[in-house]
Structure 1
Amino acid sequence: MILYLTGEQLRIDDIRTFLHQEGIVDITEDALERVQASRATVERIIANKETIYGITTGFGLFSDVLIDAEKYNELQVNLIRSHACGIGEPFSQDVALVMMILRLNTLLKGHSGATIDLIRQLQYFINKRIIPVIPQQGSLGASGDLAPLSHLALALIGEGEVYYQGQVLDSLDVLNGLGRAPIALQAKEGLALINGTQAMTAQGVITLIEAESLGYQAEWIAALTHQALRGITDAYHPAIHKVRNFPEQTAVARRMLDWLEGSKLTTKQGELRVQDPYTLRCIPQIHGASFQVFNYVREKLECEMNAANDNPLIFDDGDERLVISGGNFHGQPVAFALDFLKIGMSELGNVSERRLERLVNPQLNGGLPAFLSPEPGLQSGAMIMQYVAASLVSENKTLAHPASVDSIPSSANQEDHVSMGTIGARHGYQILENVRRVLAIEAIIALQAVELRGLDGLSPKTRAQYDKLREIVPSITEDRQFHKDITHVANYLQKVSYQD
């Protein structure tokens, strides 16, 4: 698969396909022409000895310090070295790879003054899967993701560490082995690489891709629980959802009916009870609202994926040339979206935990054994799995606190308001992993519950899911180390991608 980058049309589905098919990137000719035009503007600035931030001056509080012409290139390398002070565990290789794609795409808009050599170096790293090791912590999410993107840039100049062919190696050693030279940064290029929101945006893209898939998986897991509890299908009738006006809610109701079609375990209102509890009856409303969040976040991320978020920005239409210092590197729009994403994901976990509680609680599960134990009293069964789920959703409530409501001034108060969007992005992925484990627990417990209720009654589609999961996790015939089951099912949910 070839992903053509234009600077204008990159979509999240493109990234999903690129990662799934292990694609390569190529660049359109018109994008390269824009890059060359913006670079020519930088060269004219240098030739005319103009005072332009980050090209002929220092950075941040040093923006009033003029730099000697012979040191313009040294200034850019010093910028990368000094700013590469991220700490903590590295971003995943997928996130780092997407970070490079997003950075390349924004340079191709032609407002950053990059050279063609830098463009080709980024393309080479992406296509050869030379992936920078980028620590997760250290970004304030304004002035760009400075620390993470500096680690990305270090690899390009042969001074950082990279993942390559399953190993962590020095970038220079990898480049030497491939017969490829490290890039020599020119004036403006260090700044062009690190002013931007690509760390928070890349992590947000990966989280959203997995969150959307998990949202669809939550439906067949909920359908198993619905059948184990002899749930009422009337609540999913399309007439109810049509009059609410939310398309995401209507879509969830439609999919739930599809999962449950042909089931002998479901009921109609008035057969066993008049109404189900909210955790069954309101699945379309609750899950649908999370999909509303996902759609909002997708829109904002795709705006940013195709944005010029460098500083200063270069505008040259042939008749007029402008080089303007602004603040497109400020991560506030992305930070808000990623904080919203955390809430949408957290609620999928919250409702899942309440459903699985009903499965194990003998006062609520309609005659199933307490904790689905094979020998109540001697065997604890699923008792502590519910504890674990409760712990995870409680942790998510802390992680879902918006990072974007905080700000700490930096650069001697020159950069006096920041977004903290990268913190929100990191916490969002932690929430996603917690929710995936909660849904794995619900799946394990629901498998056991429908066994006890009678497998012959399952709908055909959920029976197929049951059979797949039973290849991963066996029936509970006696107590065992359930943490292994949770891990195996969570890994399955991550590996298998679902889309509507």
Structure 2
Amino acid sequence: MKKPLKLDGRSLPVEEIAAVALDGRAVAIAEDAYPRIKASRAVVEGVVARGETAYGINTGFGKLSDVRIGPDQLEALQRNLVRSHACGIGEPLPQDEVRAMLLLRANVLAKGLSGVRPVVLETLVAMLNASVHPVIPARGSVGASGDLAPLAHLALALIGEGEVFYGGHRMSAARSFELAGITPLTLAAKEGLALLNGTQAMAGVGGLALARALRVVELFDLAGAMSLEALRGTPAAFDARIHEARPHAGQIAAAAHLRGLLAESEIRESHRHDDPRVQDAYCLRCMPQVHGAARGALTHVREVIEVETGSATDNPLIFALEESGEILSGGNFHGAPLALALDYAAIALTDLMSISERRIDRLINPDINEGLPAFLSPDAGVSSGLMIAHVAAAALLNEAKVLSHPSSVDSVPTSGGKEDHVSMGMTGALKLRQVVQNAEYVLAMELMAAAQGLEYRLPLRPAQAVGRAAEVVRTISPALKEDRVLASEIEKLAQAVRAGKFDEWRG
């Protein structure tokens, strides 16, 4: 087992988020975070002791920020904040996404700018390590004062209220804490607000979706290489000189990856000198440009998400280590940076699906598939082959196109007009998750179709990397000799993608 991931408020790579969320890696608060945490807490306690007024510490919230709260009501203020904001609706988030939220919330509090006691972070960490996962409805956040509703459901569990998943069962948070040996929190001044203000729902859901997308974008190179071989295409368009003349980093990387995947191909050599075609269709020839652009988009999205994982996103912020010890109100909870990036990622993946669908069509369409049988069927007419697999890919692509409409261009004013411009970033995260899933299925369909196409090029062998990958496809989806139900094989191929069975061919 890896050592626990130490949380100190620094940015977290998406791989570390995935290790905690998916693989159950343990976490701990870094020792050097405690002085910062305690110093910011001391500022909050000083405000309370001196009877000063500070937003979120002894005032109401949002439109009610001008209402002063007495010292004997501060605990009730924070508790009521959590209860009133727990208005999420819809299906619960999957437990891996909840784990990502717990991780990111603890990490940003470890920056020491939020004014909470160490026990707040320690309780979040205890829940993660004991696999106590709050039931957090997926919908209800507009991503403005952060992901208020989802984070309220998270905070609700911390105080021993609401429900959780624990040990494979759904139960009350109070019961799970009793079983796990965790003490529920009694929230002190500022702590409820510090738990609710933030972008950790959209960052958690979006970050895990991005981790899957980063795998998919590289494996579309593999599927495209297999399709090119099955269609007797040429890799000439992947020559490094072409891409150095237009030096986008993603394009150069995709072209290099494709060259490596297509090395040492008998199929290529069989038609190198006697092929009347001058150049291939765009879906083959322009793979470096299209796949590379998607790589570039996802690289940008990774940068945005990783900055956010180490950012203080609540309000107000406590700058305790400065001489003035100031409490400053701002808008770091606004999800605009993530909202725009998550929409960008969905658009990039949908474009990948679009070019992949064109390659699937080119493999099965008897008018353009370079002598392959219609629909890759060994007995076209009696058998329909992969005809409806392509139809399913088209349906998934259509859904992805609808989901690629950017949620970030919309805003609905809330909280009596106080929160008058919102990001809709959580909507973007949920849409991206679905687009990534659709992309995994379309990738699986292209792998299936390309492997079937390669059957008709035997005894000529494809490039070595392509051949080995096709063998992995064949362990899941045997060569099509007659019509059979393909739905379960597509599902298993998509699962194999998610499980890393094709990662050997990432580049």
TM-score range, shorter chain: over 0.9
Residue aligned with 1:493, SS: helix
* Pick aligned residue for 2:111 from 92, 109, 112: 109
The aligned amino acid for 2:283 is T
1:119 Cα deviation from its structure 2 partner: 1.1
Q: Are 1:292 and 2:292 an aligned pair?
A: no
2:463 alignment partner in structure 1: 459
Hey, what's the Cα distance between the residues in 2 that align with 1:319 and 1:201? Answer: 33
Deviation by residue 1:97-152 (Cα, 9 ceiling, x = unmatched):
11111111111111111111111101111111211121110000001100000111
The aligned amino acid for 1:110 is G
The aligned amino acid for 1:90 is P
The aligned amino acid for 2:28 is D
Number of residue equivalences: 500
Q: Are 1:384 and 2:388 an aligned pair?
A: yes
2:323 alignment partner in structure 1: 319
2:236 alignment partner in structure 1: 234
Hey, what's the Cα distance between the residues in 2 that align with 1:455 and 1:108? Answer: 61
Q: Are 1:355 and 2:363 an aligned pair?
A: no
* Pick aligned residue for 2:398 from 368, 386, 394: 394
Q: 1:393 to 1:325 in 2, by over 3 A?
A: same
The 5-angstrom pairing of residues 409-424 of structure 1 reads 409-424=413-428
Deviation by residue 1:218-263 (Cα, 9 ceiling, x = unmatched):
1111111010000101111111111111121111111111111111
Deviation by residue 1:46-69 (Cα, 9 ceiling, x = unmatched):
001111111101111111111121
Hey, what's the Cα distance between the residues in 1 that align with 2:360 and 2:179? Answer: 53
Hey, what's the Cα distance between the residues in 2 that align with 1:163 and 1:345? Answer: 32
Hey, what's the Cα distance between the residues in 1 that align with 2:273 and 2:123? Answer: 64
RMSD: 1.4
Percent of pairs with identical residues: 44
Hey, what's the Cα distance between the residues in 1 that align with 2:29 and 2:472? Answer: 41
* Pick aligned residue for 2:136 from 127, 134, 137: 134
Q: Are 1:52 and 2:84 an aligned pair?
A: no
The 5-angstrom pairing of residues 114-125 of structure 1 reads 114-125=116-127
Deviation by residue 1:178-225 (Cα, 9 ceiling, x = unmatched):
232111111110100010010111111101100010112111111110
Hey, what's the Cα distance between the residues in 1 that align with 2:26 and 2:215? Answer: 23
The aligned amino acid for 1:98 is A
1:281 alignment partner in structure 2: 285
Hey, what's the Cα distance between the residues in 1 that align with 2:409 and 2:360? Answer: 33
Which stretch of the first structure deviates more once superposed, 4-13 or 16-25? 16-25
Hey, what's the Cα distance between the residues in 1 that align with 2:274 and 2:326? Answer: 71
Residue aligned with 2:6, SS: strand
Contact 2:20–2:100 under 8 Å retained in 1: no
Hey, what's the Cα distance between the residues in 1 that align with 2:164 and 2:245? Answer: 54
Which stretch of the first structure deviates more once superposed, 254-263 or 268-277? 268-277
Contact 1:399–1:431 under 8 Å retained in 2: yes
2:223 alignment partner in structure 1: 221
* Pick aligned residue for 1:492 from 482, 496, 500: 496
The aligned amino acid for 1:22 is G
1:268 Cα deviation from its structure 2 partner: 4.1
Hey, what's the Cα distance between the residues in 1 that align with 2:167 and 2:217? Answer: 33
1:167 alignment partner in structure 2: 169
In structure 2, runs of 5+ residues without a counterpart are none
Hey, what's the Cα distance between the residues in 1 that align with 2:124 and 2:284? Answer: 49
2:374 alignment partner in structure 1: 370
The aligned amino acid for 1:3 is L
Which stretch of the first structure deviates more once superposed, 313-322 or 141-150? 313-322
Residue aligned with 1:407, SS: coil
1:18 Cα deviation from its structure 2 partner: 3.7
Hey, what's the Cα distance between the residues in 2 that align with 1:18 and 1:269? Answer: 53
Q: Are 1:471 and 2:471 an aligned pair?
A: no
Contact 1:234–1:269 under 8 Å retained in 2: no
Hey, what's the Cα distance between the residues in 1 that align with 2:400 and 2:333? Answer: 29
Provide the TM-score with structure 1 as the length reference: 0.97
Q: 1:268 to 1:194 in 2, by over 3 A?
A: farther
The aligned amino acid for 2:400 is N
